[in-house]
Structure 1
Amino acid sequence: MNSTQQWQSVTWFEVDEHQEGQRIDNFLFTRLKGVPKSRIYRLIREGQVRVNKKRIKAETKLAIGDQIRVAPIRFEQKDESAPVSDKVAQSLLSRVVYEDEGLMVVNKPSGIAVHGGSGVAYGLIEGLRAATGKKYLELIHRIDRDTSGLVMISKKRSVLKTLQDLLREHKIRKTYAAIVKGQVSLDDQLIDQPLLRYELANGERRVRVSKDGKESKTQWKVAERFMHATLVYASPLSGRTHQIRVHGLSIGHPLVGDDKYGHETEYRGPNPRRLCLHAMRLDIPGYQTMEAPLPEDMQSLVAQLRAQKKD
């Protein structure tokens, strides 16, 4: 196995809702691949890592919007650090639905994580870096591994900051297609339930409705009702982890194919192949509306549900 010494330029990260509350040392362990933990702790001690321009300690916890600066460092980078085949790389490039000099929007397939780590060899962002040869590609936001659909990726730091600011200000509207259990009675409703993140004994993160949680709102519109399920269009008006999934559960309509929330709720429709959630539309100020049609597996399920409806 060959490895080479690599010089890394100043690196910037911005904390989103998925990393809120995480310790800075744990945050850096997953993002500075090839850098020994001892080196990361030394960087922190020496003030080479700054959060919002201030020195921090290893146990410092992060907040949404924190700007993290890591000074140039030298580290070991192994040759197989990006195990992405040409076939996978080209497949991901074929899923780009919009691109300009600063922004790329990709229709992510279900089953691929947005980034590597936690037992995942590589994700969408690593695949695109390998496919394009671009060193600077950064996720503007994230969607779950099992969720398909539109993901925004910045090609410039200025675009990353601008669009993450718009996300924080709730000026970017994201619309998801979801197939949920049962017949939703209201055609249009606002689900307003605070959400609280917590950890299971094994360290897995979950979310539940709680008065101690953060304000969370999701607009639901019924697109089509079936005998045992409903196709809804959901727009989260706040950006919380698993928001649509937990809000659906809170009104008695968990998502079909969800193995974390509401899987014990009765469902007598066709078996799904995966979590039935798809990021179908993005409305970004200053850009054209971007859309990704319902993927084939969800289209097939809808066709089966329609057929059941007619029986």
Structure 2
Amino acid sequence: MTTQEIAVKVHFVTIDEDNEGQRIDNFLVTKLKGVPKSMIYRIIRKGEVRVNKKRIKPEYKLQIGDMVRVPPVRVSQSNQDNAPSPKLAKVNQLEERIVYEDNYLIALNKPSGIAVHGGSGINYGVIEALRSLRPQQKFLELVHRLDKETSGILLIAKKRSALKHLQDQLRKKLMQKDYLALVRGEWQKHDKLINAPLLKITLKSGERIVRVNPEGKQSQTRFKIVQKYQGATLVKASPLTGRTHQIRVHCQYAGHPIACDEKYSEAKFDDSMREQGLRRLFLHAAQLEFTHPNTEQRKIVQAKIDDDLDAVLAKLKRA
């Protein structure tokens, strides 16, 4: 039985401010839903995609007024059907976890256990789910990322201009992120700033991890003790740089790995935390402070930690 296919007709798109500055390959990924990236690069390379009647490269950045020729592409129905149904419980619950929304952005309290985007064996993530929930929304893009097992504040831009504005703040270190983490042992007061370069490493097994290494990228995280417990400490971690697994590896480097971190924690400590009911990484993006892309006023969005983490803290004895 052959897979049903949908023939998409050639059409032309005039670029407005919502897509200004976006790479043509990323623009086509959004425009041609269900089309594999390999096919998108192929049609660009073959010259089937034109901007102002000229051939372009995948890294070309769109300008206001550009006329983009989007060629006819055959999209398999099975690929179309991969979009998550808005009726799925995991997808539907995201609507209830929006802590702030306006015409420019969404601030979501992301649950632990859902990736921010699909790929590498993951059918869908937060961004695909939100697009399914908001089919009328022309533009939805992640401003930044959170690890799959990390919960808390995640920003999604609703306009290209807002995305650029917010990501500029990230690059210039003008966005303040504060996380809560439960770590092993008694965090020392003098460990207020961890300054340790981080390097991504691929193990023989194919697993990717991050290690403190002098050849790595400069990485800094500020820490503050929130509450001491017997055998553990709740800390506020504020990354000054935005490296992969930064807080998790800096905690490990300081001798205080985060509870139930499958990559960087310690088995004995994790077992003791599981006895208290912990079933996930205890890392939560609690607060984000940034300049609003429209009002230019400083904005603070907060996400309360989930009940399961609260319940674990309630069982621990304060030191």
Q: Deviations over 1:102-152 (max 9, x none)?
A: 111110100111111111111111111111222421111110110000100
For 1:92 and 1:98, locate their aligned partners in 2 and report how far apart those are by CA, in whole Å.
12
| Residues 195, 210 of structure 1: 8 Å contact kept | yes
The aligned counterpart of 1:19 is none
The aligned counterpart of 2:65 is none
1:291 aligns with 2:302: yes
| 1:3-42 aligned within 5 A | 3-6=5-8, 34-36=34-36, 39-42=39-42
Instruction: Note the aligned Cα RMSD (angstroms).
Output: 3.2
| 1:172-187 aligned within 5 A | 172-186=175-189
Gaps of at least 5 residues in structure 1 are 16-23, 57-65
The aligned counterpart of 1:254 is 257
Distance 1:202-1:95 versus aligned 2 partners, 3 A rule: same
| Residues 259, 273 of structure 2: 8 Å contact kept | no
Q: Deviations over 1:18-69 (max 9, x none)?
A: xxxxxx99xx99997633566334235346599xx9746xxxxxxxxx8766
Instruction: Kindly state the Cα deviation for residue 268 of structure 1 after the two structures are TM-superposed.
Output: 6.5
| Residues 270, 304 of structure 1: 8 Å contact kept | no
Counterpart code for 1:282: L
Distance 1:38-1:223 versus aligned 2 partners, 3 A rule: closer
Q: Deviations over 1:228-269 (max 9, x none)?
A: 110000000000000000000001001001010133464563
Distance 1:88-1:49 versus aligned 2 partners, 3 A rule: farther
Distance 1:96-1:152 versus aligned 2 partners, 3 A rule: same
Distance 1:117-1:12 versus aligned 2 partners, 3 A rule: farther
SS of the equivalent of 1:163 reads helix
Calculate the TM-score normalised by the size of structure 1. Answer: 0.81
Counterpart code for 1:81: N
Distance 1:248-1:38 versus aligned 2 partners, 3 A rule: closer
For 1:119 and 1:125, locate their aligned partners in 2 and report how far apart those are by CA, in whole Å.
16
For 1:197 and 1:232, locate their aligned partners in 2 and report how far apart those are by CA, in whole Å.
25
Distance 1:254-1:68 versus aligned 2 partners, 3 A rule: farther
1:138 aligns with 2:141: yes
For 2:215 and 2:190, locate their aligned partners in 1 and report how far apart those are by CA, in whole Å.
29
Calculate the TM-score normalised by the size of structure 2. Answer: 0.79
| Residues 107, 292 of structure 1: 8 Å contact kept | yes
The aligned counterpart of 1:303 is 314
Counterpart code for 2:200: R
For 1:155 and 1:253, locate their aligned partners in 2 and report how far apart those are by CA, in whole Å.
38
| Residues 269, 305 of structure 1: 8 Å contact kept | no
The aligned counterpart of 1:194 is 197
Instruction: Kindly state the Cα deviation for residue 14 of structure 1 after the two structures are TM-superposed.
Output: 6.5
For 2:304 and 2:33, locate their aligned partners in 1 and report how far apart those are by CA, in whole Å.
35
The number of aligned residues is: 287
Instruction: Kindly state the Cα deviation for residue 200 of structure 1 after the two structures are TM-superposed.
Output: 2.0
The aligned counterpart of 2:70 is 72
Between 1:32-41 and 1:280-289, the stretch displaced more is 32-41
The aligned counterpart of 2:112 is 110
For 2:245 and 2:91, locate their aligned partners in 1 and report how far apart those are by CA, in whole Å.
28
For 1:140 and 1:41, locate their aligned partners in 2 and report how far apart those are by CA, in whole Å.
24
| 1:220-259 aligned within 5 A | 220-259=223-262
| Residues 49, 68 of structure 1: 8 Å contact kept | no
State the structure with more CA Rg. Answer: 2
For 2:247 and 2:268, locate their aligned partners in 1 and report how far apart those are by CA, in whole Å.
16
Counterpart code for 1:299: D
For 2:192 and 2:76, locate their aligned partners in 1 and report how far apart those are by CA, in whole Å.
51
For 2:222 and 2:118, locate their aligned partners in 1 and report how far apart those are by CA, in whole Å.
31
Calculate percent identity across the aligned residue pairs. 44
SS of the equivalent of 2:273 reads coil
Distance 1:160-1:303 versus aligned 2 partners, 3 A rule: same
Residue of 160, 164, 169 corresponding to 1:161: 164
SS of the equivalent of 2:241 reads coil
| Residues 98, 104 of structure 1: 8 Å contact kept | yes
